[in-house]
Amino acid sequence: MRRLALILLALYPEAWRRRYGAEMDALLEDAPPGPRALADLARGAVVAHLRPTPSLAAALAPAERARNTISAALACALALFFVVAAFTKSTEDPAFAGAARAHPLLDASHLTVIVGLVLVVAALALAAAPLAWTALRAAREGRRLDIAVLLALPVLALAAVGACGGMLGLWLSGHRDNVGSVGDLLFAATALGLLAAAIVCWAAPRATLKRLTLGADALRAPFAAMIAMGAGMVIVTAGTAIYLVAIVTDAPGLAASPDGPHLIATTSAAAFSVQLALAVMLTAICALTLKRGARSLRIARR
Amino acid sequence: MRPSGASDPSVLVLASLAERPRHGYAITADVREMAGVRLGPGTLYGVLARLEDRGLIEALPSDDRRKPYRLTGDGARVLEEELRAQERVAHTGLSRLASSRLAAEGSA
């Protein structure tokens, strides 16, 4: 329970942890937390993010806050990647392709989601490039092996997942008719590997940014790219919402058509609703974070 | 049902600190004894952060991780205003309850 409480404590904003972290840790030591206290701790972390205490937020340097913003927005984008992966998995059934032909709005909204994701990935690459270059220079000039390792980690993680995915693809192409439990196991392992890679892709840049001394000017271009990334997230969310509305409003017709997706009115709509709720939540958090980060950067430039 | 005014965590924390400076665990123990309310760690520190931000309480210097808090002058004034308001509501509500009971007994 205490370990879980410490994990929840780590979810509080950095400024909060600096000010109250040790005290809260001592309180958890004095009064070991039960399930209610854990739920309260989780709720407190959400409130601390949504309604930051002004004096606490001011305790962090503006450039420091802008760095935190970039890492929070990156976390939202990576989580959204999984939502889009679930969306494409849900719609890969050939019956959905048939439904998209019958309903142009389904086709258009599906394309919108993909276009939004491409924008997110492109904007992320644009944001990462100048920061990675600065980090590389710092690693070379300062002989910082730690920064070099941190820069290599996401590349290695993505390469490993790519290799696993490739092997899975090869295996599936050879066992198309009999996937069986080995296929399920390989698929689950790839999914877990993807999750691990996403965590590495979030944690390594975050740790790298903490090791660099970056002024507000150096953060301006990556920040602008992050705002474009936020726009991409909005497009993904809008596409998912339109898809859900189209599915729900035309469900009886689609379900009745011979090549329509099965159980479209129940299972699919429920799955898309969860995906939409997650996409809305992540986009809203990202927008709120970017808004606060932009304010910090404006303060830093003054 | 617990009276709602008496369960406002901010008022409970201020009331706890009205007696003497206390640290987090001491505040939760005191509030539990005083009002029967169990303040979770997230709620307690959320309240402490807001009260400190508004200048109603202040942390005392301490070498220990358990930092004690005390009520400021503004905190004492706000607490008194809040408790007086609650007292007025309680007084009015109780007298209205008593008169309605009397009226009910009279008509019966």
Question: Can you name the residues that pair with B59 across neighbouring β-strands?
Answer: B69
Cα separation of A73 and A124, whole Å? 10
Burial of A296 from C-beta contacts in 10 A (0-12 / 13-18 / 19+): buried
Query: Chain A: residue nearest B40 by CA?
Result: A37
pLDDT in tens, A83-109: 998 888 888 777 777 777 777 788 889
Q: Using CA atoms, how far apart are residues A233 and A230, in angstroms rounded to an integer? A: 5
Q: B53–A54: do the CB atoms touch at under 8 Å?
A: yes
pLDDT (0 to 100) of residue A257: 63
Q: Which of A19, A43, A53 sits opposite B42 (nearest CB)?
A: A43
Q: In whole numbers, what is the pLDDT of chain A averaged over residues?
A: 84
- The answer to whether B52 and B59 have CB atoms below 8 angstroms apart is yes
Residue B52 has pLDDT above 60, yes or no: yes
Q: Cβ of B25 and A54 within 8 Å?
A: no
Percent over 70 (pLDDT), chain A: 91
Q: What is the tally of structural domains in chain B?
A: 1
Question: Which of A201, A34, A213 lies closest to A124 in space, CA to CA?
Answer: A201
pLDDT category, A254, cuts 50, 70, 90?
low
Q: What is the mean pLDDT of residues A201-226?
A: 85
Interchain proximity A31–B28, CB inside 8 Å: yes
Q: How far is B14 from chain A (nearest CA, A)?
A: 18
A302 interfaces chain B, CB cutoff of 8 Å = no
Residues in B touching A57 (Cβ below 8 Å): none
Q: How many CB pairs under 8 A join A and B?
A: 73
Q: How confident is the model at residue B2 (pLDDT cuts 50, 70, 90)?
A: very low
Q: Do A24 and B50 touch (CB under 8 A)?
A: no
Cβ pair A55:B52 closer than 8 A:
yes
CATH number of the domain encompassing residue B70: 1.10.10.10
**What is the pLDDT at residue A8?**
92
Average pLDDT (A71-83) is: 90
* Residue-level pLDDT at A260: 57
3-state SS, chain A, equals CHHHHHHHHHCCCHHHHHHHHHHHHHHHHHCCCCHHHHHHHHHHHHHHHHCCCHHHHCCCCHHHHHHHHHHHHHHHHHHHHHHHHHHHHHCCCHHHHHHHHHCHHHHHHHHHHHHHHHHHHHHHHHHHHHHHHHHHHHHHHCCCHHHHHHHHHHHHHHHHHHHHHHHHHHHHHHCCCCCHHHHHHHHHHHHHHHHHHHHHHHHHHHHHHHHCCCCHHHHHHHHHHHHHHHHHHHHHHHHHHHHHHHHHHCHHHHHHCCCCCCCHHHHHHHHHHHHHHHHHHHHHHHHHHHHHHHHHHHHHHC
Chain segment A159-175, per-residue pLDDT in tens = 988 888 888 888 777 77
pLDDT at residue A302 greater than cutoff 70? no
Domain hosting B38: range is 5-107
Per-residue H/E/C for chain B: CCCCHHHCHHHHHHHHHHHCCECHHHHHHHHHHHHCCCCCHHHHHHHHHHHHHCCCEEECCCCCCCCCEEECHHHHHHHHHHHHHHHHHHHHHHHHHHHHHHHHHHHC
A27 contacts chain B (CB < 8 A): yes
A43 touches chain B (CB under 8 A): yes
Among A30, A41, A53, the residue with its CB nearest the CB of B49 is A53
pLDDT attached to residue A49: 84
- Whether B3 shows a pLDDT value over 50: the answer reads no
Q: Do A39 and B40 touch (CB under 8 A)?
A: yes
Structure tokens at A68: 């935190």
Task: Name every chain A residue with its beta carbon within 8 A of the beta carbon of B43.
Answer: 40, 43-44
Whole-number Cα distances in Å, A54 to A9, A69, B9, B14: 20, 16, 20, 20
Widest distance between CA atoms in chain B: 67
Q: Which residue of B has its CA nearest to A58?
A: B53
Q: Are the C-beta atoms of A246 and A103 separated by less than 8 Å? A: yes
Interface of B with A in 73-102 (CB under 8 A): none
Q: Which residue has the higher pLDDT, B101 or A179?
A: B101
Residue B32 in contact with partner chain A when CB distance is under 8 A: no
CA triplet A110, A113, A119: central angle to 5 degrees? 145
Alpha carbons A60 and A186: distance in angstroms, whole number: 45
Residues 232-271 of A with CB under 8 A from B: none
The pLDDT tens digits of the residues spanning A176-196 come to 666 677 777 777 888 888 889
Give the tokens for residue A260: 């329509």
The predicted model gives B74-92 an average pLDDT of 94
Which residues of B fall within a CB distance of 8 Å from A19?
49
Any CB–CB contact under 8 A between A35 and chain B? no
Mean pLDDT is lowest, of A66-70, A97-101, A194-198, B13-17, for A97-101
Rounded distance between C-alpha atoms, residue A214 and residue A87, angstroms: 37
The pLDDT assigned to A105 comes to 84
